[in-house]
Amino acid sequence: MLIECLKRKSFPSPLLIEGRELSGILLDYKRFALCETQTACGDCRSCKQVLKAFHPDLLEAKGDLKMEELRSLLHRLRQKPLQSKARLLCLTEFQMASKQVQNALLKTLEEPLESWLIVLSTQSAGKALPTLRSRCLVFRMGSEESEAKAPLSELEAEIFELIQEERDWVLQQKIESCLKKREQSRSVFSRLLQKASEKNYPGHWLYLSEPLLEAIEQLDRNLNPKTCWEFAWTRSLQEAKKLRFSGRRLSL
């Protein structure tokens, strides 16, 4: 799913990736985001530099970094990209980050710039401060084990059942009832995004992932959660109709 976003030149940020073996997906993110054409072409100067782990717009550290190091990275993150379209801050093993580091990062996330991307990777998203986690789009890679660690709330479980049964009208009501608060809406959208990317969902749900990503961005720009949701829902219906009409199928 994440790789599909990257291929469409859509770079979710701030992103918190949870899983065991994350070096592959992290490298993909860096390759797509920093490539001069954002296609991970493999030929441009940036692509070659990323593979050598040395790129002027790539800022990397492990989660257990010291405050001074973080400050210096954040300072550099705010500067204009030298070569690529954005500067990318990548903090790995984020489960080791101190509270102080997380709080400093949180402050930065509250005043985002368009020219930066932030990716955190962790073995356990649960170890990140809830306030920080709720600012990030959370992706859980692979293992059923990590899925099990983050059980669905009763309401979320109900929502996913309704999706399977294609009871759209009841579903709309249910989702709207979750969208009272921004933080909660963000978490519902992230969950839906994760689910929408699973292949076994029926009808226009297949086409919901991209509109949902946009909805999350709109939410971060302080738009009303219900408006964001209605926009995503309508767009997925339109996309589904358009693709059905042209006889194409979306490959996920």
Q: 16: which strand partners? A: 120, 138
Helix 154-164, helix 168-178: angle, nearest 10: 160
Burial of 10 (0-12, 13-18, 19+ CB in 10 A): middle
Q: Tell me which of 22, 35, 50, 137 binds Zn ion, using CB under 5 A.
A: 35
We find the least distance from the C-beta atom of residue 139 to Zn ion, in angstroms, to be 23
> By rule CB under 5 A, what string of x and - marks binding of each residue 216-235 to Zn ion?
--------------------
We find the least distance from the C-beta atom of residue 35 to Zn ion, in angstroms, to be 3
Amino acid occupying residue 222: N
Backbone phi, then psi, for 158, in 5-degree steps? -65, -40
Q: Tell me which of 3, 41, 113, 252 binds Zn ion, using CB under 5 A.
A: 41
Count of other CB atoms within 10 angstroms of residue 162: 18
We find the least distance from the C-beta atom of residue 59 to Zn ion, in angstroms, to be 19
We find the least distance from the C-beta atom of residue 30 to Zn ion, in angstroms, to be 11
> By rule CB under 5 A, what string of x and - marks binding of each residue 45-84 to Zn ion?
--x-------------------------------------
- Quick one: 3 or 250, whose CB is closer to Zn ion? 3
In contact, 229 and 249? CB cutoff 8 Å = no
**Residues at the site binding Zn ion, with contacts judged by CB under 5 A:** 35, 41, 44, 47
